[in-house]
A and B are shown apart, each in its own frame.
Chain A
């Protein structure tokens, strides 16, 4: 079998060599606890402080505005629940978000409703953008927090986050964006952009799984999710994961430095992929294609096929990609994102997400262009048989 082709970078990416090297010492001689007063502690503290500064620099922020978390999901939970719990006493009892958020935000918002808050979901256009009039209607003076993901992880739709943040702030609403897919793709600058909180995740940008961060603008009220020590100003108690924080800092720096080059590279590959697929499968539908979107995600439905069978068949031929969001059991469930942007269930049931990244080359794309249409033809033959 030819070399396997990994087209699931939106799920996770391999740890970069530079990142691995940067973390190495902290699994060895520099093992100290940053809270200790002795030299070992000092060494670790130095690395951790620098990691805060380095991540902050990547965001146009100050070091004290960066909270390290265990993952993007924790960052999202801390943002949504932390703000809601801090602000409910002000009489701001509503939380606004989109129906296409990652489950990390959606489930946290559901938790808010269990705690007595109101959940408001923005209307979406068919291309996966926030509907403007819906935003104006729902984001009102009684809203604690509005959370809108910058780049959607399933279809790549890119929201006008700076503009939405500005409008939310005008109504005293704290604005959060899940930038897990956006970091390293779009220009992010907390000085010129008005978001109050921003989540990111290490393993989408070449750092290991198990590290994320939340940017929290100075002066933003935030309740912690956990209780314990005073690490990170009490916002995130627990001994800091120094090695991973250093890894995230390195990965973030690389991602920012390579951002524009990476965008062009991925966009060219994606266009080659989409052009090739549409040529061979003229009735295929690429979701969210009509709106501004990220360069690394293609979500395609081919009528007459089903995601589950295609994913299996692709995997058995060495091509790894995904469909919808995986349920806990690992089975494929219909995508809440596609249904939220009005894709009919039947079409959504054939959706496949191909996501490009550091491992992607023209040869990978061409391999998919060979195999994918062939599997589709076969699936259709079986369907009609």
Chain B
């Protein structure tokens, strides 16, 4: 059993529970990035979490390894993150990290040591080979897991998905893992220093990249209403950083990377009646055009009813009976039925009109 351990409370308790259940557990911490690569003699930034994971493994009496997945993570996750912003989209690197880093690259390491099982501290559940939401609705992380290969599900254990965060913390105390039991968790993206994603973009593409250069705020009618300092600073539905002086609250409703324009408009311009997604992955037998499902367009968004109107090799289009607000390219479109994750895709575009099922 290989457990991916971040040094946080969730994965530590996951490891502790599995040790208690009698599994032969090996802890692994992935080293994914290093902010200080210009200073080779300085410690890595992720050192504290590695140390915490190591201490937890020592306490649990299991071996701990640090796996260097920096170059693959840089290619599959960080590079894509930057490219997506450069294309005017809002990526979710955690999805790609799960898809490529944790449940592909890490599984290869698990294979190398004959680990039959792989476990993480995600709040989601695998029940009889089916991926389901975590039991704690406030913590559910199933939204980030749609991209994994379905074949992995039979080897995957998510022990904390059966409980609430409070129960996880209580269990950490029970297991004697005081070191990490009350650790606060960061909502930030792990490789983005102090929550400012433009720093990562600037480092990879240069501070003068188009995505970080001045452009115009425009209305749908084309009128210019101000200037911004780079469209990568904006996401659909954002209100912060927009020009003022309008009769009603204004939102980012579209980003046009080729002209560097950020389109703003009132709330009703955020409304979408359909959504197109690509890179579609199914964790159950694929649905067909005409099938009903629920979709979630953002982490923590309420799932909405949808009808699959078109399904091609890699692309899918869904009609949203009740509409959805601020459908954002680059975010994930995750398909659910109740608490079962059916699959998902990356949002390509919103449709303002209700798509019609092709006959």
Q: Which residues of A contact B (CB under 8 A)?
A: 103, 107, 110, 306, 308-310, 312-313, 315-316, 327-333, 378-379, 382
Contacts and interface: CB of A to CB of B under 8 A. Distances in A.
Contacts of A310: 112
Nearest to A375: B112
Contacts, number: 57
Interface stretch (B44-52, B87-95, B257-265): B44-52
B56 to A, nearest CB: 14
A103 B40 CA distance: 10
Contacts of B46: 329
Nearest to A385: B111
A110 B112 contact: no
Contact of B66 (A306, A330, A378, A382): A330
A312 B110 CA distance: 10
B51 to A, nearest CB: 8
A127 B42 CA distance: 30
B43 A328 contact: yes
A329 B111 contact: no
Contact of A308 (B41, B43, B67): B67
A316 B26 contact: yes
B73 to A, nearest CB: 12
Contacts of B114: 313
The 6 lowest CB-CB distance pairs between A and B, nearest first, are A309-B112, A331-B68, A331-B66, A330-B66, A331-B31, A329-B50
A309 B68 contact: no
Given A308-B109, A312-B65, A329-B44, 18 more contacts: A110-B40, A110-B41, A306-B112, A309-B108, A312-B109, A313-B112, A315-B63, A327-B31, A327-B68, A328-B44, A328-B47, A329-B43, A330-B50, A330-B65, A331-B66, A331-B67, A333-B68, A378-B112
Nearest to A345: B71
A316 B66 contact: no
A262 B278 CA distance: 65
B41 A316 contact: no
Contacts of A110: 40-41
Nearest to B43: A328
B54 interface: yes
Chain B interface, >50% SS class: mixed
Contacts of B40: 110
A308 B68 contact: yes
Contacts of A306: 112
Contacts of A330: 50, 54, 65-66
A309 B113 contact: yes
A316 B31 CA distance: 20
A94 B97 CA distance: 45
Nearest to A310: B112
Contact of A329 (B26, B31, B41): B31
Nearest to A309: B112
A379 B50 CA distance: 26
22 contacts: A103-B41, A308-B65, A308-B68, A308-B109, A309-B108, A312-B26, A312-B112, A312-B113, A316-B63, A327-B31, A327-B68, A328-B43, A329-B31, A329-B44, A329-B50, A330-B54, A330-B66, A331-B31, A331-B66, A378-B112, A382-B108, A382-B111
A247 B126 CA distance: 57
A329 B46 CA distance: 8
A179 B65 CA distance: 30
A110 B38 CA distance: 13
Residue from A306, A312, A328 whose CB has the most chain B CB atoms within 10 Å: A312
A45 to B, nearest CB: 37
A309 B109 contact: yes
A332 B54 CA distance: 15
Contacts of B111: 382
Contacts of B47: 328-329
A107 B39 CA distance: 11
A254 B335 CA distance: 71
Nearest to B51: A329
Residue from A107, A308, A331, A332 whose CB has the most chain B CB atoms within 10 Å: A331
Contacts of A309: 108-109, 112-113
Contacts of B67: 308, 331
Contacts of B41: 103, 107, 110
A316 B27 CA distance: 12
A310 B29 CA distance: 16
B346 to A, nearest CB: 28
Contacts of B109: 308-309, 312
Nearest to B54: A330
A379 B108 CA distance: 9
Nearest to B48: A329
Interface in B54-93: 54, 63, 65-68
Contact of B44 (A327, A378, A382): A327
Contacts of B66: 329-332
